[in-house]
Chain A
């Protein structure tokens, strides 16, 4: 009898042990994962890293927004860190006036939308030409395109400045629009390459069948290729718009006094502030410039782009997937 129980006990013990091991394994699997990158600990580390890096990343923007709402008292009060005691909208009113917002906004639109449209179309044509046709000198031209990407504007800026001056184009958006029409201008090389990569992914048979039906190259391009290239078109347009919008260096040079875009206005914010205040507040109390007003101005300048980004975010971020820019 006795001898009959012992193996049973042993068996139970062994079963216990395997169950325990199983449990341990399961726990380990949940914590560490099967492949090393799907366990709990790993996930927590990934999220913690992403959240903290993400916070540091947007810190300047958050700081700027928080600062821009502070009144002078909040600004001087060291206990007020992130949340101002009250939302001080007056900063924005001041900054709006100093920036001459409606006027500069219009200038910004004029100097970014029009060149962006021109660049989107011209680079599409050129990109298509490079992607689909064989002709002598093509590879040299591609080398030149890359070359235009690395040459800093400063090298050609002075001759261009003199040229635009001679044609009386200074002070208007033309110095941005005219080169853009000819697939030149801000970062055109990049846009041509984006289009090239994109057009290469479209099967050739599509154009061939249209060609058999008697359509010419121009017709094929406008009626067949362009309509299916919406992703590339949107991406190029958005980037061109944003980069033209943010351009301050050549904008202040070519536009001079006659037209000031929003970022250019920020350059002279201090000066403009003192001028605006001394002329308008003759009877009122003087308002002194402080960090909050300046940052409110910066917020106002960023705001249109932030709104655009909010709606078009998907397009901006998917540029690489949509157009295969990195290629092989």
Chain B
């Protein structure tokens, strides 16, 4: 009886603590989601008397794919560039994390440098740097790499690659948090495993592939998910810009804009699912657990 009472009290205290989130979720997430789904099937007209909704069924979604000249195009271009950007960011952040994890001096200084962009980059600042040409590595352009790619690849693929090269630094700027996550992963690897491997005569190269990489594998998944969400919710991309434009256009309005947002969300969701399915299997040998 007493135990039951205590259990019940724990339950109630728990609810008390998470109550703010529950209210917030209902008010600022669940209700808006319902409202937004509802709107995406309507043509919404906002007048001085209030909101007027006309049911149009799946038309908004159909229009997005069939009649909108820009939406699917922007979406495809964006997905293409994300497909390139994610591996670049993951490999780069792993490289930097491996370098910083070495026993070197000025560790704090280098960490500070690689985390700096996380703090200062707002979409607007980044946009400004793009437009002033501060975002590309000057050497790349000097050696004619862009012409080389232009001449040798199909334009559907050369265009995203070139735009990535031109924005390379800013793309790398999105790796601050990922570097930290990898760093934390690396620091949790049992050092005895490294010692044992080097006594057995393993080269650094072998150690990286056989020990380091498998043991930070879970962090790769975390980072891919984080990067994907980060890139998709970043206000810099043109798809989001397009959604905002449609919000305030009289002929399309809020209804159409929300259906664009929903298509966008479904794309993110599918990509995340793919990522989890492809990288989520974690049945490999894990020295972090085996080493104790």
Count how many chain B residues have C-beta atoms less than 8 Å from C-beta atoms of the other chain.
Answer: 91
Name 26 interchain pairs, CB-CB below 8 A, sorted by A: A35-B204, A53-B96, A56-B172, A64-B134, A67-B134, A122-B20, A126-B18, A135-B10, A145-B21, A151-B29, A151-B33, A151-B265, A156-B36, A158-B254, A158-B257, A162-B51, A179-B27, A183-B24, A184-B24, A248-B124, A263-B122, A266-B124, A294-B132, A302-B125, A316-B118, A320-B184
Q: Contacts of B240 on A, CB cut-off 8 Å? A: 152, 154, 249
B18 with A61: CB separation less than 8 A = no
Residue of A nearest to B203 (CB): A36
* Cα–Cα, bound, A10→B25 (Å): 87
Min C-beta distance of B244 to chain A, whole Å: 8
User: Counting CB contacts under 8 A, is B102 at the interface?
Assistant: yes
> Which residues of B lie under 8 Å from residue A159 when comparing CB positions?
31-32, 35-36, 39
Within 8 A of B (CB), among A195-212: none
Contact partner of A160 (CB less than 8 A), chosen from B28, B129, B235, B257, is: B28
Main secondary structure of the interface of B (DSSP, over half): helix
Indicate with 1 or 0, residue by residue over A260-286, a CB within 8 angstroms of chain B CB atoms.
Answer: 000110110000000000000000000
Q: How far is the CB of A67 from chain B (nearest CB, A)?
A: 7
- Contact assessment for B264 and A183 in the assembled complex, using a CB-CB cutoff below 8 Å: no
Which range holds the interface residue count of chain A? 35 or more
Q: Does A3 contact B (CB under 8 A)?
A: no
- Is A255 on the interface with B (CB-CB < 8 A)? no
> Looking at A37, A126, A158, A249, which has the most chain B CB atoms within 10 Å of its CB?
A158
Instruction: Report which of A43, A144, A247, A305 forms a contact with B119, defined as CB distance below 8 A.
Output: A305
Residues of B within 8 A of A184 (CB): 21, 24-25, 27-29
Residues in A lying within 8 Å of B, measured CB to CB: 34-38, 42-43, 46-47, 49-50, 53-54, 56-61, 63-64, 67, 122, 125-126, 128-130, 132-136, 138, 141, 144-145, 148-160, 162-163, 179, 181-185, 188, 192, 217-218, 221, 242, 245-249, 253, 263-264, 266-267, 291, 294-295, 298, 301-302, 305-306, 308-309, 313-314, 316-317, 319-321, 324-326
B134 touches A149 (CB 8 A): no
The smallest C-beta distance from A160 to any residue of chain B, in angstroms, reads 5
**B189 contacts chain A at the CB level, 8 A cutoff:** no
Across the interface, which residues of A come within 8 angstroms of B111, CB to CB? 317
Residues of B within 8 A of A64 (CB): 129, 132, 134
List the A residue with the shortest CB-CB distance to B195.
Answer: A35
Check B15 for interface membership: any CB of A closer than 8 A: yes
Contact B265–A155 (Cβ < 8 Å): yes
Partner of B102, one of A37, A152, A160: A37
Q: How far is the CB of A316 from chain B (nearest CB, A)?
A: 6
Interface presence of B243 (CB below 8 A): yes
In the A-B complex, the 8 residue pairs with the smallest Cβ-Cβ separation, listed nearest first, are A182-B24, A129-B17, A133-B14, A246-B122, A156-B32, A159-B32, A249-B235, A184-B24
Q: Is the CB of A179 within 8 A of B18?
A: no
- Please, which residue of chain B has its CB at the minimum distance from the CB of A184? B24
Given contacts A158-B36, A266-B125, contact A133 B21 (CB under 8 A): no
Q: Is the CB of A325 within 8 A of B229?
A: no
Q: When A129-B16, A138-B14, A308-B119 are in contact, do A43 and B32 touch as well, CB less than 8 Å?
A: no
CA A134 – CA B28 in complex, angstroms? Answer: 25
Pick the contact of A134 from B11, B25, B118, B232 — CB < 8 Å?
B11
Q: Which residues of A contact B110 (CB under 8 A)?
A: 50, 54
Contact A245 B122 (CB under 8 A): yes
Q: Is the Cβ of A248 less than 8 Å from the Cβ of B17?
A: no
Which of A35, A158, A179 has a CB less than 8 Å from the CB of B198?
A: A35
Q: Chain B residues with Cβ under 8 A from A63's Cβ?
A: 134
